[in-house]
């Protein structure tokens, strides 16, 4: 019996909910993201250590959600890292940013 494909959007929504509803999940998520390098080497391949961190993070996400989770790719993990760890948001036109005051 074939299993139906999982909807990536519903998986990401479930991850968001988990991170918002459980501070301990968010804290561990951020800690594991911080262990991942800020960029990939010039050859675009993860180091062995980065691969282990990503595998650990994907495993923890599956545990939090209680369902299999389609693993985050290296590129997705770098995006999450930039947002959560480095706090780099696309806030050029943020209404709270002082430089936007006319």
Residue 98 predicted with pLDDT over 80: no
- What's the chain's average pLDDT? 86
Domain ranges (residues) in the chain: 23-39+48-87
- Averaged over 5-19, what is the pLDDT? 88
Tens of pLDDT, residues 41-85: 999 899 999 999 999 999 999 999 998 888 899 999 999 999 999
> Which long-range contacts does 11-14 make (Cβ < 8 Å, 24+ apart)?
11/65, 11/69, 11/70, 14/65, 14/67
Contacts of 101 (CB under 8 A, 6+ apart): none
Which is nearest to 67 in space by CA: 75, 77, 59, 55? 59
pTM of the predicted model as reported, rounded to 2 decimal places = 0.79
């Amino acid at each position: 019996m074939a299993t139906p494909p999982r909807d990536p959007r519903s998986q990401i929504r479930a991850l968001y909910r988990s991170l918002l509803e459980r501070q301990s999940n968010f804290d561990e998520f951020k800690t594991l993201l911080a262990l991942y390098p800020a960029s990939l080497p010039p050859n675009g391949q993860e180091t062995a250590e980065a691969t282990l961190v990503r595998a650990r993070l994907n495993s923890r996400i599956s545990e939090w959600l209680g369902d299999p989770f389609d693993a985050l790719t290296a590129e997705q993990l770098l995006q999450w890292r930039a947002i959560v760890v480095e706090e780099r948001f696309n806030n050029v036109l943020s209404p709270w940013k002082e430089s936007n005051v006319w």
